[in-house]
Amino acid sequence: MSNRQNIVTSLQARLETRFVGRHVHYYPSLASTMEVARKAAGEGAVEGTVVIADRQTSGRGRLGRVWLSPKGSIAMSIILKPLVSNLPQLVMIASLAVVRAIGKVAGLEAQIKWPNDVMIRGKKVCGILIESEVKGDRVNAAIIGIGINVNLNPSAFPEISTLATSLSHELGKEVSRDELTGTLLYELEQLYLEAQAGAPIYREWQAHMETLGRWIQVRAGESVEEGKAETLTEHGNLILRRADGSSAEIVAGDVTVIKD
């Protein structure tokens, strides 16, 4: 058995899922797990297929940003086939699964910066990217990309050192990537099934949202809004209260905290 097969077998032996992670494509190094997952989805990969890389050289974040994924991090993409009505919940499912998994495996309390960054003590530990292909009223595939800083020293990467953290940096010791991956896939599947059954998972998502109650600026293209992050809708949109008392419903954007 090859080393690649050994790694896949070891991961799957930990899994307690019904379908997520039951088909795994593992690579020591990839340009982007999202690209490989997109290709696999186009070739008919089953729901729950996961693409994992030890190292990602051209990872992408939201808004076209580069996502750094050196060895020691988790870089994965999961192929799902939800109903169109469940698409807005994927960001909640992914970020909540990460929060739950970090809590269970590392014992750290993580929070969510709207819409989908996972933070520990105000620094980013995880980025999430979601892409979907929809035709009519059918989702051909939705791909959730997740990158977690697990065992790496942020100070070794000057471009992120002031903004990012890692689980090992917070704990002062290494964290099992296999255990974290298995727990994350389990939590993601549970949340996905609950959402498809109609559970209001946005409430738990909102409870972990660090953005709420803070005065923020939201930039979406050329549009800029400022105000107090007041609440979230069940579809994940942010309700902003402007200084003049009027409100705005924000569907997507890049958030900067101005003051608490």
Q: Are residues 195 and 229 in the same domain?
A: no
Strand partners, 254: 219
Over the stretch 38-68, which tens digit does the pLDDT of each residue have? 999 999 999 999 999 998 887 555 545 556 6
Position 1 scores a pLDDT of: 46
Q: Are residues 140 and 230 in the same domain?
A: no
Residues 6 or more apart whose Cβ sits within 8 Å of residue 172? none
Position 21 scores a pLDDT of: 96
Our count of domains for the chain comes to: 2
Q: Are residues 195 and 223 in the same domain?
A: no
Q: How far is CA 58 from CA 65, 130, 214, in A?
A: 10, 16, 33
Q: What is the dihedral of CA 230, 233, 236, 242, to 10 degrees?
A: -30
Q: For residue 190, give the nearest of 125, 115, 94, 104 by alpha carbon.
A: 94
Position 259 scores a pLDDT of: 77
Q: Are residues 133 and 202 in the same domain?
A: yes
Position 82 scores a pLDDT of: 97
Q: Are residues 156 and 248 in the same domain?
A: no
* Residue ranges for the chain with pLDDT beneath 70: 1-3, 59-68
Pairing of strands 247-250, 238-241: antiparallel
Range of the domain at 190: 3-207
Q: Assign residue 221 the CATH number of its domain.
A: 2.30.30.100
What are the structure tokens assigned to 235, written together? Answer: 């579809």
Position 63 scores a pLDDT of: 46
